[in-house]
Amino acid sequence: MSKWQIPPDGGHMESASGIYYQNMTLKEINDRLETNDLIIIPIGSTENHGLGQNPGEDTFLVTRQAEQIAKATGCTVAQPIWYGSHPNHHLGMPHSIIIPEETFVAYLRAVMAGFWNAGFRKMILLNGHGQDYVIPTAMHQFGKKYQVPSIIINVNWWFVIPEHLRDKVHGGPFETPFVHGDECEASFSMALFPEFINSEYFESAKFEPLMPPGHINKSGSALPREEGPLPFWQQVGGSPLEVVSTPEGTVGDATLADPEKARGGVNAILDYLERLVNDIMEKYPAGVLPPIDQLSMRPKEDVEAVMKGPFEEGGRHIYTLAYPP
């Protein structure tokens, strides 16, 4: 028996359950920082997932995971980033709202700076969308720009659990390999937010890749490496434009979706996220970060001043080091 609720009974984005930062009073936030200063920032997308699935799917996949982790560990969740970056082959697909890379990276840097200045200096950027290659740029730019102690981790949930995303041929629970808005993604969605999914409208769609097999992996790089050593974002021109090849929005066969097929994967990703949060908080309890001199060659007095923050004697806000973030 797993301790995780699959599916959960509803979400917390509008509830006063002490999970979402934006829903808490400042008093509650200040108290939270005393016990747990780690925040999960869910990063999703607004994207066409086919007739039976909601465009917010990638976002709810990670908010519903983060909510259960916050309940289990006492950390906090930020309201999600709803619009994301997209690979080349998504261009022009109606209902996929594409934020240019530079804008998205700058926005993420600013969100990280804001939470750092608020005292949440341990952040997990929990990503639910195929923008794996963009988010790390924002984290490394934040690190280089500010050079202040922090722990910032990016988790793409599917990377953690490839064996649970595979088709039966590769030892997994699915008939078909994970692509997008398909059997696999719809199954995870039904396991986490069934109220936004309507299986009556599920469709099946096929496309012909433009590259010969054996090179480009499918979504989540879930296939064994020898079958696809290159993650999907390491090519342009190998995947046809979605709007042309799969106008359905489903890339695969959503009619095969079943939440039971995702149960093992949901349990596995939640087990991992819980361990990640607890391991970080055990090594670095609230208010504690890795030593300044291991992470920064900025003058120590500058780093100490921004770590105190603007309300303390001799303290300053983070933007005294650099603005815009």
Closest-by-Cβ residue to Zn ion is: 58
3-state secondary structure at position 19: coil
For Zn ion, give the closer residue by CB, 68 or 219.
Answer: 219
Q: C-alpha distances in angstroms, 22 versus 29, 39, 56, 76, 313?
A: 9, 12, 19, 10, 27
Which residues, numbered 259-288, are part of the site for Zn ion (CB under 5 A)? none
CA separation for the pair 303, 147 (Å, rounded): 8
Binds Zn ion by CB under 5 A, chosen from 8, 50, 58, 165: 58
Task: Check if the beta carbon of residue 202 is closer than 8 Å to that of residue 257.
Answer: yes
Query: Would you count residue 248 as binding Zn ion (CB under 5 A)?
Result: no
For Zn ion, give the closer residue by CB, 32 or 89.
Answer: 89
Chain centre distance of CA 201: 27
- Cβ 129 to Zn ion shortest distance, Å: 6
Site string for Zn ion, 139-158 (x = CB under 5 A): --------------------
CA separation for the pair 154, 123 (Å, rounded): 8
For Zn ion, give the closer residue by CB, 58 or 67.
Answer: 58
- Cβ 57 to Zn ion shortest distance, Å: 5
**Residues β-bridged to residue 216:** 230
CA separation for the pair 120, 76 (Å, rounded): 9
Q: Which stretch binds Zn ion (CB under 5 A): 9-17, 53-61, 148-156, 259-267?
A: 53-61
Number of residues engaging Zn ion in binding (CB under 5 A)? 2
Half-sphere exposure of 243 (CA within 13 A, CB side): 11
Q: Which stretch binds Zn ion (CB under 5 A): 56-64, 139-147, 193-201, 250-258?
A: 56-64
For Zn ion, give the closer residue by CB, 58 or 132.
Answer: 58
Q: Which stretch binds Zn ion (CB under 5 A): 50-58, 142-150, 162-170, 220-228?
A: 50-58
Q: C-alpha distances in angstroms, 95 versus 45, 58, 92, 242?
A: 10, 13, 9, 12
For Zn ion, give the closer residue by CB, 139 or 186.
Answer: 186
For Zn ion, give the closer residue by CB, 117 or 239.
Answer: 239
Site string for Zn ion, 10-49 (x = CB under 5 A): ----------------------------------------
Give the length of the chain: 325
Cα end-to-end distance, the chain, whole Å: 45
In the chain, the amino acid numbered 273 is: L
- Cβ 201 to Zn ion shortest distance, Å: 16
Q: Which stretch binds Zn ion (CB under 5 A): 4-12, 52-60, 88-96, 141-149?
A: 52-60
For Zn ion, give the closer residue by CB, 154 or 219.
Answer: 219
Residue reference for tokens 């490839």:
162
- Cβ 259 to Zn ion shortest distance, Å: 16
Structure tokens given for 253: 């066969």
- Cβ 49 to Zn ion shortest distance, Å: 6
CA separation for the pair 281, 4 (Å, rounded): 21
Task: Check if the beta carbon of residue 322 is closer than 8 Å to that of residue 145.
Answer: yes
In the complex, which residues of this chain contact Zn ion (CB under 5 A)? 57-58
